[in-house]
Amino acid sequence: MRKFAFILSMVLLVPIAAAVALPFLVPVGAIVAEVERQVETKTGRALTIKGRVDLAYFPSIAVTADQVHFAGVRQGEDLLAVKQLAVRLRLMPLLRGKAEVEKFVLTEPSIDLTVDRQGKPNWDLSLADSPTEAGPGFIADLSLTEVEVVDGRVRYHDLRTGMVREATEVNVALSLPDLDSAMVVEASGLLNGTPLSLDLGIEPVRPLLSGGVAGLNLRLVGAATNVVVTGQMQRQGEAPLALSGDLSLDVASLADLIKAATATVPSDLPVNDLTLSGKLAGTLARLALTDLVAKAGDLSATGALSVRLDGARPALGGNLSLPRLELDRYLPAPGATDPALPAPEVGPAGWSKERIDLAVLKTADLDLTLHLAGLLVKGVEAGATTLTLKLSDGRLHAGLAETALFGGTMSGKMTLDAGRQTLSLAVAATARGMQAEPLLTRFADFDRLSGTMEGTIDFRTSGANQQELVGGLNGAGTVLFRDGAVKGINLAQLVRSAIGHGSEAPPQTDFAEMGGSVVLADGVATTEDFRLLAPLLRVSGKGTVNLPSKRVDMRLSSRLVGSLEGQGTSRVDVDGITIPVRVRGPFDNLSWTPDLSSSVRSALKDPKKAQEQLERLRSKEGAKSLLNSLIGNKQ
């Protein structure tokens, strides 16, 4: 602001210098040339008056200049271009040290604000020499009677993101009787085609020039939005101008506001109205809002927010508390596929090859903590939790505190990096005591496993699309299910059939404990220590789950034993009949078949030992009748 004020003050020197030089008959052209030279010396940018310059000296000093241009960074580009500048000052008050501006009108000014690809704004003049401020002996007071901007235009272009915003038909009227009175500003214009109006009052103005506090009243209306700020402004030394006061925001249509701010038309917003109030403090570049109370639809929040605009990207921070959220009400409904659009490209196993675009993560930074009283999503109830979100230069860190979920708890953290050509993702999570069946049914559409679950997982991946992300999975994890069942297959029945004792039984394998560890490498999960413990049945196994191709290849060793022990047993069962079972095929059509070849080979090597194992199994006290039932015999 001070830099622009310096430029305008140099323009004002044209009529003042003309009045002083009149007795010496200095040509007006020479005065204009000197002003242009001084501006370029101080700013490094050229000020050029290309049109006609008219001067008058009495009873007021007046200058009218056409085609005034102030250069931008790139050659041939203007930061400021004014079709006509008209200034009129009263001469006698000026000689007494008071500048009484009868008229200051900018007609069709055009301001082009640009941020280059390195993040440097073209309005950063980087003055080599700060202009000397006029002391009280030069201008002790100021009066502005008719100050106007007529049909102006302001355009903002960020070359890093391609974002363009434009305000047109900008009209401003300002009045200031003197520095100890109120300055009143009335402005209107179109922001991306949407009408806006601004009313601003500052009283008195002098403290903002010499240091001190002035009252502030601001109201902004437009785009179905009403913003009111009541408070004060303060200047201390060379520090930026500070603001403080009460903020009230009322948005009747978020769609209209988003359209005005982004020049895009949103669809299917979960809420369409917003009210917000709080205590505002900070500078124009760094604002904080405390004692925040916000309401959007029937969703409410309290806490604090902050905004920073002086960095490479806008940054939002805060700490908010929210009541129980029924998130389903705010999620967009699944949209029908448009038959006119080409189908997205997919790989052989159905994973999408469509590029994932998360460029939006690079447009702003975030440091937000959310305290949730509860959450309902897809019919799933989650308990109170704390969610932290930190986003910087396209890299998002999210943390979930221990949360009650599916009868147990879950906690975890995630890092998503969208700042490079390919996305990278890392996830670490821990689950304790969660009910597996509703969890897998809800989120994986898999309803064949029940029981309580606990486990850990730590994986990372990278890629440009879904197929690459799945194929790049690397990491490790452990999982353990207790007191549940595998539905759709009865391993004991399968073993009974393999040894010639088939009978009818429910198609599920009950277990006391099932689990193991897994290693992920390039999307393939490998386990070497899978186990299932159940009364009269032990299952161990190893194999792979190929996620990119959506196929399973596991070899299970199912052993009938004479023990009723299940969960938590430390016993290693060496007695019993072992029947290998091969599990393989695509996810949606797994086959479970006995692998008798290895059992036959073992029996052929030592048929007497195989017979002894069967007899020992039958003779064990306490298990005989159960075993007879298990293999289908009647006593």
Please confirm whether the linkage preceding 204 is cis (ω < 30° from 0).
Answer: yes
Question: For the chain, what is the radius of gyration of the CA atoms?
Answer: 38
- Asked if residue 633 has pLDDT above 60, the reply is no
The arithmetic mean of pLDDT across residues 31-56, rounded, is 81
Task: Quote the pLDDT of residue 487.
Answer: 79
Residue type, 350: G
Distance CA 523, CA 301 (A): 41
- Place 597 in a pLDDT band, splitting at 50, 70 and 90: low
The upper half-sphere exposure of residue 154, i.e. CA atoms within 13 Å in the direction of its Cβ, equals 11
Helix, strand or coil, per DSSP, at residue 617: helix
The rounded percent of the chain whose pLDDT value lies above 70 is: 76
Nearest-10 crossing angle of helices 596-605, 607-619 = 100
Distance CA 453, CA 308 (A): 44
- Asked if residue 283 has pLDDT above 50, the reply is yes
- Asked if residue 14 has pLDDT above 80, the reply is no
Task: Quote the pLDDT of residue 11.
Answer: 55
- Asked if residue 370 has pLDDT above 90, the reply is yes
Task: Quote the pLDDT of residue 365.
Answer: 92
pTM metric for this prediction: 0.72
- Asked if residue 632 has pLDDT above 50, the reply is no
Task: Quote the pLDDT of residue 167.
Answer: 92
Q: Which residues contact 574 (CB under 8 A, 6 or more apart)?
A: none
Per-residue pLDDT tens digits for 505-555: 567 778 889 999 999 999 999 999 999 887 667 889 999 999 999 999 999
| Nearest residue to 482 (alpha-carbon basis) of 534, 537, 517 | 534
| Nearest residue to 121 (alpha-carbon basis) of 162, 159, 153, 152 | 159
Give the chain's mean pLDDT: 80
Q: What share of the chain is helix, strand, coil (3-state, %, to 5)?
A: 20, 50, 30
DSSP H helical segments within 88-237, as ranges?
A: 91-95, 206-210
The arithmetic mean of pLDDT across residues 185-200, rounded, is 93
| Higher-scoring residue by pLDDT: 171, 28 | 171
- Place 567 in a pLDDT band, splitting at 50, 70 and 90: very low
Helix, strand or coil, per DSSP, at residue 341: coil
Task: Quote the pLDDT of residue 349.
Answer: 81
The arithmetic mean of pLDDT across residues 162-188, rounded, is 91
Produce one character per residue of 222-235: b if its CB has 16 or more CB atoms within 10 Å, e if not. Answer: bbbbebbbebbbbb
Helix, strand or coil, per DSSP, at residue 4: helix
Domain range list for the chain: 1-129+139-158, 313-328+355-472, 478-635
- Asked if residue 299 has pLDDT above 70, the reply is yes
Beta-strand (E) ranges in 436-523? 449-463, 474-487, 508-521
Tokens of 390: 């930190």
- Place 377 in a pLDDT band, splitting at 50, 70 and 90: confident
Residue 293's CB: how many other CB atoms inside 10 A? 12
- Asked if residue 616 has pLDDT above 60, the reply is no
Task: Quote the pLDDT of residue 138.
Answer: 43
Q: Choose the most confident range, by mean pLDDT, from 434-438, 476-480, 556-560, 565-569.
A: 476-480
Per-residue pLDDT tens digits for 93-151: 766 667 778 888 999 999 998 888 877 888 876 544 444 444 444 445 678 888 899 99
Q: Which of 438-452, 459-473, 565-579 has the lowest mean pLDDT?
A: 565-579
Task: Quote the pLDDT of residue 525.
Answer: 95
**What is the DSSP secondary-structure string of 28-92?**
HHHHHHHHHHHHHHHHSS-EEE-S-EEEE-SSEEEEEEEEEEEE-SSTT-EEEEEEEEEEEEEHH
The arithmetic mean of pLDDT across residues 257-275, rounded, is 80
Task: Quote the pLDDT of residue 599.
Answer: 54
The arithmetic mean of pLDDT across residues 565-589, rounded, is 64
Task: Quote the pLDDT of residue 579.
Answer: 74
Asked if residues 555 and 541 have their Cβ atoms less than 8 Å apart, the reply is: yes
- Asked if residue 195 has pLDDT above 90, the reply is yes
DSSP character for 355? B
Residue 635's CB: how many other CB atoms inside 10 A? 6
**Torsion on CA atoms 115, 121, 123, 125, rounded to nearest 10:** -150
| Nearest residue to 471 (alpha-carbon basis) of 483, 482, 459, 480 | 459
The arithmetic mean of pLDDT across residues 424-452, rounded, is 86
DSSP character for 618? H
Residue 245 backbone zone (phi > 0: left; psi -120 to 50: alpha; other: beta) = left
| Higher-scoring residue by pLDDT: 353, 510 | 353
Residue 437's CB: how many other CB atoms inside 10 A? 19
Give phi and psi for 159, each to the nearest 5: -70, -20
- Place 341 in a pLDDT band, splitting at 50, 70 and 90: low
